[in-house]
Amino acid sequence: MAETRRIVLVCDCEGTMAPDRAALARGCRGAELRWFHQLCGAESPSARAALAEGRPLSIGCTAMAPLFREFAADGGVGEPAFANIRETAGWSDEAAAAGPKMAALLAAAAEEMPPVPLVGLESGGVALLVGRDEAVFTAARLLKDQLDLTVLLAPGATPAPPPVTEFPVLQGVVRGASGHLGGFEVTVDRLASPAPSSRAAFAWGPERDGTTSRCDLILDVSGGARLFPDGLREGYLRADPGNEAAVLRAVLAARELVGGFDRPRFITFTAPLCAHRRSNRTGCTRCVELCPAGAITPGIGKAATHIGLDPLVCMGCGSCAAVCPTGAASYALPPVDAAIRRARTLLLTFAEAGGQAPVLLLHETGEDAHAEALIDALARHGSGLPADVLPFAVHSIAGIAPEFLAAAFAYGASAVRVLGRARPRHALDALARTFALAEAILAGLGFGPGRLGLIETDDPFTLGEALREAGRPAPVGTPRRFEPLGDKRSVLRVAMRELAAAAPSPAAQLALPAGAPFGAVLVDAAGCTLCHACVGACPTGALSSDPDRPLLGFLEEACVQCGLCAATCPEGVIRLQPRLDFTEAARTRQVLKEEAPFHCIRCGKPFGTASTIARIEAALAGRHWMFRGETSHAQLIRMCEDCRVVEVTNRGTDPYAGPERPKPRTAADYSAGDPGL
């Protein structure tokens, strides 16, 4: 039987670092470690041979990853897993103690990530160029052979008319824009065409407002306000008209935006789980408030139950997934359980290799590699990362969710630091909410201050100083080893329980800030009529009824504090209490109110409640002729739905009948001096 043990290739990069073989052996238990001095050069045949064995393979080098990928392609085998153990660990003033970190990075890199779901875009190359000076004509001349373009000049623009009309030129003001790459819709006011006889300056014809233009991409070199929030829209390119290099970069990018494209579907949206709206009442609005790209729209109308999410507009910041309490919006790049599984491997391997009190450094990864560039510069020109700082790449720091942080601390992280830009690309309001919730929970469980921190910098030396000056919180207890299984909400519940089990000061209950996704529903039992309107509105099944007896049940573990129950309750007797309950009671359905059923006076069948029947009788007594005194009509209220029909049919009751109407009074009655007048 062929051996399937993973092969791990570790190189000391021509002696510039000294991997701790004992620590790596402890952390990479079960793998076959092979050691090299110049794996990408003189010893590269060994890499080819390892790939040819067809076994799972990890290589502790990312600098020469293209070369090793080429070896894999030549051999017709799958790509190996790559881990950067040089810039993140080996090139550091603390390299001698970085063995556990190297082992952890190699182990985490071997974790397989699920495939990324894709969504298709199609662009025919119809472009709108918006500007006010010669820069827009410069861009248009560079693009006229690749794109079907139109130039839109702002009123009062200065460029002189070109001697040859190579593309349409119009005047106008963009009032609004919507859509995405391949499907933009732009509304233009003061739209006018130039006179063919324009000489030194454009002479414009009549203006008209509210014209709609459709295009595939927009190049904005106007220098004015952005057409989209934060410029976050695929196919919307923007450059400072005074920066020739920026304009040229935008032109080069525009040339590539023709044809069919596959882009990640960043968010998996499950509409039935959404707690946004029920029965024309609004509940959770967390994602609507935070989406910076305008990809999320609120539900409108009585039939609406969920938000609308346009995957073609979504730019993948992950804010909605970070704050979604039900898991209706969950991140797919990667899914939360896969990300937590990789963090689990990283942190547990670090501990098994002999590391203590690790600090998890979360940073973004992508095409511009901002964080990787800082870490690389710090390793090459500075002191490098501390030996206990474990870098962990995420697609967007705005999408860091509470379940990830809870799991990280449960797995043994002593602190979490998030590395962001000095000027973030996305608003970090969602991260601020996540930090506020996590800090409240950590403080309540006795972890103490300093466990979370945001480092916003574009300078590598500032990063190094921040990591060293922040101090090292005391290590937590024994790391937990739970597997992150299930959907987002299930992982969140399990992570919180495991965090409580690993806490220095476990607590039965914790009070949480408003907006937290955990809590209780408090009902004024005296005012509750058991109408169960709240049960129908509850999107998670936290509130429930019983088909056999009149009661209102509540499962706290399922409550997401959306507020739909309080908004729907006709008596207004429901309020929310944000809290985290770690006891068994939170996982057991509790009875908030129960009444004895009222029994039908005809057949004895239980229906409704005695208090409800009494309220109906009191409301109708003396106010309607059918229910004055102990009449047969009044008795119908005390019958079940079946007996009520039988009784009405047998008695021939006319629901529209009534007491004898008073006789009309005529003029003759008044003339006769009727004493009743």
pLDDT at 676 over 70: no
At residue 614, the pLDDT reads 81
With beta carbons less than 8 A apart as the criterion, state whether 505 and 442 touch. Answer: no
Antiparallel, parallel or unpaired: β 415-420 and 359-364 = parallel
| Buried/exposed 33-49: b ≥16 CB within 10 Å, e otherwise | beebeebbeeebeebee
Q: Which of 116-130, 279-293, 420-434, 631-645 has the lowest mean pLDDT?
A: 631-645
pLDDT in tens, 322-360: 999 999 999 998 999 999 999 999 999 999 999 999 999
With beta carbons less than 8 A apart as the criterion, state whether 384 and 95 touch. Answer: yes
pLDDT in tens, 582-619: 999 999 999 999 998 888 999 988 887 888 888 887 87
At residue 96, the pLDDT reads 96
- The token pair at 551 is 């009661």
With beta carbons less than 8 A apart as the criterion, state whether 539 and 275 touch. Answer: yes
CA nearest to 183, candidates 246, 261, 296, 116: 261
pLDDT at 319 over 50: yes
pLDDT at 135 over 60: yes
At residue 623, the pLDDT reads 66
* Cis bond before residue 334 (omega within 30° of 0): yes
What's the average model confidence in pLDDT over 31-48?
Answer: 96
pLDDT at 653 over 90: no
Please count the other Cβ atoms lying within 10 Å of the Cβ belonging to residue 114.
11
Q: Which of 106-110, 168-172, 533-537, 671-675 has the lowest mean pLDDT?
A: 671-675
pLDDT at 478 over 90: no
For the entire predicted model, the pTM comes to 0.88
At residue 660, the pLDDT reads 67
pLDDT category of residue 654 using cuts at 50, 70 and 90: low
SS3 634: helix
Q: Which of 93-102, 322-331, 547-556, 633-642 has the lowest mean pLDDT?
A: 633-642
Q: Which residues pair with 9 in a beta bridge?
A: 34, 59
Residue whose tokens read 């047998």: 650
pLDDT in tens, 208-262: 999 999 999 999 999 999 998 766 799 999 999 999 999 999 999 999 999 999 9
pLDDT at 1 over 60: no
At residue 624, the pLDDT reads 65
At residue 222, the pLDDT reads 94
How far apart are alpha carbons 26 and 19 in whole angstroms? 13
Q: Which of 22-36, 129-143, 612-626 has the lowest mean pLDDT?
A: 612-626
pLDDT in tens, 380-421: 999 999 999 999 999 999 999 999 999 999 999 999 999 999
Please provide the average confidence, as pLDDT, over all residues in the chain. Answer: 92
At residue 629, the pLDDT reads 58
pLDDT in tens, 437-467: 999 999 999 999 999 999 999 999 999 999 9
Backbone angles phi, psi at 181, to 5 degrees: -50, 125
SS3 631: coil
At residue 658, the pLDDT reads 60
How far apart are alpha carbons 28 and 36 in whole angstroms? 17
With beta carbons less than 8 A apart as the criterion, state whether 8 and 29 touch. Answer: no
At residue 627, the pLDDT reads 66
At residue 632, the pLDDT reads 59
With beta carbons less than 8 A apart as the criterion, state whether 289 and 451 touch. Answer: no
At residue 434, the pLDDT reads 97
**Residues present in the chain in total:** 677
Full strand arrangement of the beta sheet holding 509-511: 509-511, 574-581, 519-523
pLDDT at 285 over 50: yes
pLDDT category of residue 301 using cuts at 50, 70 and 90: confident
